């Protein structure tokens, strides 16, 4: 199989870093989850390179992308939508297949709603379809200085350790623990390969996605994304897990399907939010179901 190349595409005040399989075929863009990076999905995407020309990009504030981040910029994730649209435009006018996990799936929906001419199909894995009422209750509790019974994702991100004495130390800290418990070692290594940068102090490495930015992204999660289904012109596949802690409930997937119509919903009962790491074969199968382009 062809190995991916690391490329850089100028965009505004910086560059978007991409992992690209320079093979023939339809263009497939893959967008990662908050706090992750393009390299995290290498194992998932590599077997598809004989069918697609694949690009996986590092979102603003993640991986090796150099686009600036400032407080408030992530509000409602519009900046991730706009970055993605600009990237798709830079790749040419032909419609692309957009795949995405979690935040990447949601940004892909937003881009497809904004520029349907650029998108031929959507494959969304655990997209972030936030239920409105739980979010409003949590927000109201914070407004009156009460805390939810468990720390939210933003608080956990802010407490994340971000500097390690070496790559292997970071690997030891992540492997088999917390959110990474269900991940194969190869995928954890890829996540760290694409998500750690040298500090300049001996062998020290730090997370490229700063915990403060990851936390801001969590707090900036948009509401009402299923309603965008009415603006989507292309076929959509939603793949979501059945375990608790996911970001796409049955009701939310159904809500999107009611608004859109041409939606295929695939539920993997044994999967968590980290479905692409746990069941990559299922995700690949759904991407391969996208009909070949007629052009």
Kindly tell me if the per-residue pLDDT of 284 is higher than 50. Answer: yes
104, 110, 116, 122: CA torsion to nearest 10: 40
Classify residue 93 by its DSSP letter: S
State how far the alpha carbon of 132 is from the alpha carbons of 22, 139, 218, 229, in Å. 41, 11, 15, 17
Gap between the Cα atoms of 129 and 116, Å rounded: 20
Environment class of residue 93 by beta-carbon count within 10 Å: exposed (0-12), middle (13-18) or buried (19+)? Answer: exposed
Domains in the chain: how many in total? 1
- Residue 295 falls within a domain, yes or no? no
- Residue 197 falls within a domain, yes or no? yes
pLDDT at 12: 85
pLDDT at 274: 98
Kindly tell me if the per-residue pLDDT of 13 is higher than 60. Answer: yes
Confidence of residue 144 (pLDDT cuts 50, 70, 90): very low
Kindly tell me if the per-residue pLDDT of 139 is higher than 70. Answer: no
pLDDT tens for 36-76 read 999 999 999 999 999 999 999 999 999 999 999 999 999 99
Which are the contacts of 84, defined by CB distance < 8 A and separation ≥ 6? 29, 31, 57, 107, 108, 110, 111
Environment class of residue 15 by beta-carbon count within 10 Å: exposed (0-12), middle (13-18) or buried (19+)? Answer: middle
Q: The pTM is what?
A: 0.93
User: What are the helix (H) ranges across 68-152?
Assistant: 78-90, 103-114, 132-143
- Residue 111 falls within a domain, yes or no? yes
- Residue 14 falls within a domain, yes or no? yes
Q: Residue 253 is encoded by which pair of tokens?
A: 């997937």
Structural domain range at position 167: 5-288
pLDDT at 146: 46
- Residue 293 falls within a domain, yes or no? no
pLDDT at 1: 67
Q: What is the CATH number of the domain that holds 239?
A: 3.40.50.1820
Confidence of residue 131 (pLDDT cuts 50, 70, 90): low
- Residue 199 falls within a domain, yes or no? yes
pLDDT tens for 226-237 read 999 999 999 999
Whether the CA torsion 251, 287, 33, 72 is positive or negative: it is negative
Rg of the chain over all Cα atoms, to the nearest angstrom: 18
Kindly tell me if the per-residue pLDDT of 151 is higher than 80. Answer: no
Q: Residue 222 is encoded by which pair of tokens?
A: 């948009």
pLDDT at 210: 97
Gap between the Cα atoms of 178 and 120, Å rounded: 36
> In the chain, what percentage of residues exceed pLDDT 70?
92
Computed over every residue of the chain, the mean pLDDT equals 92
Kindly tell me if the per-residue pLDDT of 252 is higher than 80. Answer: yes
- Residue 127 falls within a domain, yes or no? yes
Kindly tell me if the per-residue pLDDT of 150 is higher than 50. Answer: no
Kindly tell me if the per-residue pLDDT of 27 is higher than 60. Answer: yes
pLDDT at 282: 98
């Amino acid at each position: 199989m062809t190995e991916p190349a690391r490329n850089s595409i100028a965009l505004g005040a910086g560059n978007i870093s991409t992992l690209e399989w320079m093979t023939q075929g339809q263009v497939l863009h893959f967008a990662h989850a908050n706090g992750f990076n393009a390299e995290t999905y290498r194992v998932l995407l590599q077997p598809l390179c004989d069918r697609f020309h694949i690009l996986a990009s590092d979102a603003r504030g993640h991986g090796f992308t150099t686009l600036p981040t400032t407080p408030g910029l992530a509000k409602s994730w519009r900046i991730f939508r706009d970055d993605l649209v600009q990237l798709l435009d830079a790749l040419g006018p032909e419609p692309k297949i957009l795949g995405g996990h979690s935040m990447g799936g949601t940004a892909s929906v937003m881009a497809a709603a904004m520029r349907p001419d650029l998108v031929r199909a959507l494959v969304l894995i655990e997209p972030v379809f936030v239920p409105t009422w739980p979010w409003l209750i949590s927000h109201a509790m914070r407004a009156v200085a009460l805390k939810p019974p468990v720390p939210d994702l933003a608080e956990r991100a802010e407490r994340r350790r971000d500097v390690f004495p070496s790559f292997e130390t970071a690997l030891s800290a992540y492997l088999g623990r917390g959110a990474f418990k269900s991940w194969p070692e190869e995928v954890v290594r890829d996540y760290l390969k694409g998500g750690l940068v040298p500090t300049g102090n001996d062998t020290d490495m730090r997370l490229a996605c700063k915990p403060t930015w990851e936390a801001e992204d969590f707090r900036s999660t948009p509401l009402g994304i299923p309603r965008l289904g009415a603006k989507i012109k292309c076929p959509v596949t939603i793949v979501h897990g059945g375990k608790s802690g996911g970001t796409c409930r049955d009701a939310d997937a159904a809500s999107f399907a009611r608004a859109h119509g041409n939606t295929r919903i695939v539920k993997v009962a044994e999967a968590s939010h980290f479905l692409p790491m746990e069941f990559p074969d299922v995700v690949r199968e759904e991407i391969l179901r996208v009909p070949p382009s007629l052009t």
